[in-house]
Structure 1
Amino acid sequence: MPVEEPTDEELKEFYETPEKVMLNTYPSQKQATLVMVTLDLLSTHSPDEEYIGEYPEASWANEPIIYAAYERLKGRLQYLEGVIDERNVTLSLKNRAGAGVVKYELLKPTSKHGVTGMGVPYSISI
C-alpha cells in the first residue's frame, strides 16, 4: 500500500484493483523523462574536460621547483586513485561494493570517457 494510513476508500480500491494502485505510484512518462535527462546531464562530462596531473604545462617543465611540485601533485593523485580503487572493492563498504552498486569512478583521473561510472580520460583542450 503506498500510504501508511490509508482511508477506507483507498483500502477498498487497493483490495479491488491492486495493480491500478501500484501503477498510480509510478512517475508519469514526463516525470521519468525529466529525471533521466537530468541524470544524464549531471553524469556526462564535457569532451574537452581535462584533469590536472597528467600533463605539465610547458612553463612548469622549465622551472625545477614548479616541476618538482607538479610531480608531488601527480604522485598524490595516483595515490588517491589507488584509494578509490581499494574502496571500490572493499565489501564492507556497502555504498561502494555489492550487487547492483556501480563502482565510483567519476573523479578518477584515468577513468574512461563517458557517463558517471566511466569518468573522463586525461585530455588537453586546444
Structure 2
Amino acid sequence: MHNYPFGGYVPNHSTLTRKLIPQEDDPEYEKFISDPQHAFLASLATQLQATKVMAVQDTLSTHSPDEEYIHQLHNLHRHWFNDHEVLSLFEKYSAKLEDIKETIKARNKDICLRNRSGESSTLIQLF
C-alpha cells in the first residue's frame, strides 16, 4: 500500500507546524478565534519544508523493483541453502505468513470491522 497519495499532501498529514495553537491568555488567541483557518494555514510548513517531506514520503512509499519480502526466497538464492531442514522450516514459516496475510485480507473485508482500515491496524488484532 502506498501512503504517498494521502500523506504526501501536507494539509492531510503535516509533519511539523511552525506555530502552536495559542492559549486563552495569549494575545494571538483573539486572532485565532476570529480566523482559525488563517491560523491553521500559517502554522503549516513552508513550501520548501513541505517539498522535502513530500520527496521523502514518496521515496519511502515506493517499492523497489527488485525487493524481496522476508517470507520469499528467490530461486536465484536457493542454492545458498544446502540444508533441507532449513529449507523445510523456511517453507513452513512462509506458509504461516501467507495464512496471516489471508486472515488480514478477510478481516479487512468484514463489515463488522469497518472502523478499522488497512493491514497495519488489523495486524495488531492478530497478536
Q: What TM-score do the two structures reach when normalised by structure 1?
A: 0.53
1:78 counterpart = 2:89: no
- Aligned-residue Cα RMSD (Å) equals 3.4
How many residue pairs get aligned? The number is: 97
| Conservation of the 8 A alpha-carbon contact between 2:108 and 2:119 | yes
> Does 2:39 match 1:34?
no
Offset at residue 81 of structure 1 (A): 1.1
Structure whose residues are more often helix by fraction: 2
- Quote the offset at 1:93 in angstroms: 7.0
| Structure 1: gaps of 5 or more residues | 98-102, 106-126
User: Deviation per CA, 1:47-72, whole angstroms, max 9, x where unpaired?
Assistant: 21112335451465x76434432331
TM-score by length of 2: 0.52
**Where does structure 1 differ by over 6 angstroms across 4 or more consecutive aligned residues?**
none
Which residue, 18, 23, 37 being the options, matches 1:4? 23
- The secondary structure found in structure 1 opposite 2:23 is coil
Q: Partners of 1:16 and 1:79 in 2: how far apart?
A: 54
Identical amino acids, percent of aligned pairs: 30
